[in-house]
Structure 1
Amino acid sequence: MSGAPPSRRGALLALALMVAIWAYSWIVMKQVMRWAGPFDFAALRFGLGALVLFAVLVLRGHSLRPPPLGLTLAVGLCQTAAFQGLSQWALVSGGAGRVSMLAYTMPFWSVLFAWWLLRERPGRRQWAGIALAVVGLVFIIEPWHALGSGQSTLLALASGGLWGLGTVLTKRMFQLHRPPALSFTAWQMLLGSLMLALVAWLVPQRAIEWTTGMVLGLLYAAVFASSLAWVLWFLIIDRLPATVAGLSSLCVPITAILMAWGLLGERPDAAEGLGIVLIVLGLVTVSGMGLRRKV
Structure 2
Amino acid sequence: MEAKSRGLVTATGAIAPVVWGTTYVVTTELLPSGHPMTAAAVRAIPAGLLLIAVTCAWPKAWGRLLVLSALNIGAFFPLLFVAAYRLPGGLAAVVGAAQPFVVAVAALLLFQQRTPWQQLAWATLAVAGVATAILTGTVTLDTIGILAATAGTVAMALGITLTRAWGSTGGLSGLASTGWQLLLGGLMIVPLIPVLDHGPFTLTGHAVVGYAWLSLIGAALAYALWFNAARQLPATSTSLLAVLSPVTAAALGWAILQQNFTPIQIIGFTVALIASILGQRRRPSRKEH
TM-score (norm: length of structure 1): 0.77
Counterpart of 1:205? 198
Q: 1:270 to 1:81 in 2, by over 3 A?
A: farther
Which whole-Å deviations, capped at 9, do the CAs of 1:180-205 have from their partners, x for residues lacking one? 11111111111110111112233242
Q: Aligned runs of 1:199-278 on 2, under 5 Å?
A: 199-233=192-226, 248-269=241-262, 272-278=265-271
Counterpart of 2:38? 40
Q: Give unpaired runs (5+ residues) of structure 2.
A: 284-289
% identity of equivalent residues: 25
Counterpart of 1:100? 93
Q: 1:177 to 1:222 in 2, by over 3 A?
A: closer
| Cα distance in 2, alignment partners of residues 16 and 275 from structure 1 | 20
Counterpart of 1:30? 28
**Are the equivalent residues in 2 in contact too, given 1:108–1:130 (CA < 8 A)?**
yes
Post-superposition offset of 1:252? 3.6
Q: 1:282 to 1:201 in 2, by over 3 A?
A: same
| Cα distance in 2, alignment partners of residues 146 and 216 from structure 1 | 28
Secondary structure of 1:267's partner?
A: coil
**Are the equivalent residues in 1 in contact too, given 2:27–2:84 (CA < 8 A)?**
yes
Equivalent residues, number: 280
Counterpart of 1:78? 71
* More deviation, 150-159/167-176: 167-176
Which whole-Å deviations, capped at 9, do the CAs of 1:219-278 have from their partners, x for residues lacking one? 111112111333455777899999998884344432222112111123334554454345
| Cα distance in 2, alignment partners of residues 174 and 112 from structure 1 | 19
* More deviation, 241-250/180-189: 241-250
1:169 maps onto 2:167 in alignment: no
Post-superposition offset of 1:217? 0.6
Q: Give unpaired runs (5+ residues) of structure 1.
A: none
RMSD of aligned Cα (Å) = 3.8
**Are the equivalent residues in 1 in contact too, given 2:48–2:180 (CA < 8 A)?**
yes
**Are the equivalent residues in 2 in contact too, given 1:30–1:92 (CA < 8 A)?**
yes
**Are the equivalent residues in 2 in contact too, given 1:35–1:211 (CA < 8 A)?**
no
**Are the equivalent residues in 1 in contact too, given 2:125–2:275 (CA < 8 A)?**
yes
| Cα distance in 1, alignment partners of residues 101 and 67 from structure 2 | 20
Which whole-Å deviations, capped at 9, do the CAs of 1:6-50 have from their partners, x for residues lacking one? x99998996686565433333213324544511111112111111
| Cα distance in 2, alignment partners of residues 224 and 275 from structure 1 | 28
**Are the equivalent residues in 1 in contact too, given 2:126–2:243 (CA < 8 A)?**
no
**Are the equivalent residues in 2 in contact too, given 1:129–1:284 (CA < 8 A)?**
no
Which whole-Å deviations, capped at 9, do the CAs of 1:153-187 have from their partners, x for residues lacking one? 23222212210101112123228876411111111
Secondary structure of 2:199's partner?
A: coil
| Cα distance in 2, alignment partners of residues 241 and 126 from structure 1 | 10
**Are the equivalent residues in 2 in contact too, given 1:23–1:253 (CA < 8 A)?**
yes
